[in-house]
Amino acid sequence: MDPYRHAIKPMLADLREEPFDSQDFIYELKWDGTRALCFLRNGQRFQNRRLYDITYRYPEVRVRTRKDAILDGEIVVMDGGLPSFGKLQEREQSSAKLRIEYLSKVVPATYVVFDILYLRDEAVMGRPQMERKALLREVVEEEDRVVLSDYIEARGVDYYHAVTARGLEGIIAKRKDARYVPGKRSKDWLKIKKKSVQLCVIAGLTVGEGGRADTFGSIVLGAYDEGVLAHVGRVGTGFSEALRRHLTTRLAALRQEACPFPEPPELEVPLAFWTKPALACEVHFLEWSKERHMRAPSFSRMREDKRPEDCVVTFA
């Protein structure tokens, strides 16, 4: 099978709460972009994490290598020296050719390369991480729209604090001898993200699918903004199976027909039921979106010591 003509699932990083120092790891910036493998033989093809071809979205990004290769990296849109998730979303959601051409000029993207899977017809995924980094320097021709991801060794704690102080998302720690394993989430790669904390009122549940069909998909969240309960998003990660079942039973007892918000929010997924705004929980998240919803939320814990009225939000 020719790997250049097929989809490849990217390797994924596991999550770690706190930064650490280690001589066995290198540390890279966690780019706030869209994951993209680049297939370079008789032209180029970008494939995202969901295995879709997204080449047409980024006509301004031309990757050049000294030999045929399959690369892994992140497509980012910079704004004021920082990756902009909002501007990236504008690029990701555009499909009309004229619109894509316009955006490629006014909000151009950059491909940040951090790994190599194939060199010509040889699979190099079994080589150690540092050997693959050396191959990238030999193979990839850097330019304005194509750069190699920089890294430091050993000093993960200092690097994490420097990165988050600049308002960036976090870092990725990679074991120096790590092999690339397509489609697998590995502790050889660890993502360490900055996090904000928000106290939230539980306002409802959405319908679960697959293995969650008998519990819930996500919890609908609210917080009080100047005395009014505002919808601040949904959270579907961070729950153990036991906690999911416990919360499903507990929240069913608080079920009500009326929406607890002044206006029913657009949830994008089916609602199971609304609940009385009686329970508080703690949620970690990356930042506020322009819609005033939490980005990348993760459930932390129930807060039995807090009243719903204590869940106050200040958007920043």
DSSP-assigned letters across all residues of 60-125:
T---EESS-EEEEEEEEEEETTEE-HHHHHHHHT--SHHHHHHHHHHS-EEEEEEEEEEETTEE-T
- pLDDT category at 89 given cuts 50, 70, 90 is confident
User: Higher-confidence residue: 32 or 22?
Assistant: 22
CA distance from start to end of the chain: 50
109-119 and 146-148 beta bridge pairing: parallel
185-193 and 12-15 beta bridge pairing: parallel
Judged against a pLDDT cut of 80, whether residue 315 lies above it is answered with: no
Res 145: pLDDT = 97
Counting runs of H as helices and runs of E as strands, what totals does the chain give? 5, 23
User: Higher-confidence residue: 193 or 105?
Assistant: 105
Q: Which tens digit of pLDDT belongs to each residue from 197-219?
A: 899 999 999 999 998 999 999 99
Judged against a pLDDT cut of 90, whether residue 253 lies above it is answered with: yes
- pLDDT, mean of residues 32-53: 96
**Lowest mean pLDDT segment, chosen from 17-26, 39-48, 143-152, 193-202:** 193-202
280-285 and 185-193 beta bridge pairing: unpaired
Res 68: pLDDT = 98
- pLDDT, mean of residues 89-96: 90
What are the distances in angstroms from CA 54 to CA 33, 61, 234, 289? 13, 12, 28, 24
- pLDDT, mean of residues 116-123: 98
- pLDDT, mean of residues 78-83: 89
Q: Which residues contact 309 (CB under 8 A, 6 or more apart)?
A: 224
- Catalytic residue list: 30
Res 193: pLDDT = 86
- pLDDT, mean of residues 155-166: 93
Count of Cβ atoms closer than 10 Å to residue 145 Cβ: 16
Res 196: pLDDT = 84
* Average pLDDT of the residues of the chain: 94
For 237, phi then psi, to 5°, come to -120, 160
Domain map (residue ranges) of the chain: 3-193, 196-310
CB 257 within 8 A of CB 204: no
Q: Which two tokens stand for residue 241?
A: 């199976």
- pLDDT, mean of residues 216-227: 96
Classified as helix, coil or strand, 12 is strand
How far is it, in rounded angstroms, from Cα 168 to Cα 28?
12
- pLDDT category at 17 given cuts 50, 70, 90 is confident
CATH number for the domain whose boundaries are 3-193? 3.30.470.30
What are the distances in angstroms from CA 229 to CA 222, 261, 274? 6, 6, 14
Judged against a pLDDT cut of 80, whether residue 316 lies above it is answered with: no
Q: Which two tokens stand for residue 17?
A: 């709460």
CATH number for the domain whose boundaries are 196-310? 2.40.50.140
CB 221 within 8 A of CB 200: yes
Q: Which tens digit of pLDDT belongs to each residue from 281-291?
A: 999 888 888 89
Res 136: pLDDT = 98
Res 14: pLDDT = 92
Q: pTM for the complete prediction?
A: 0.72
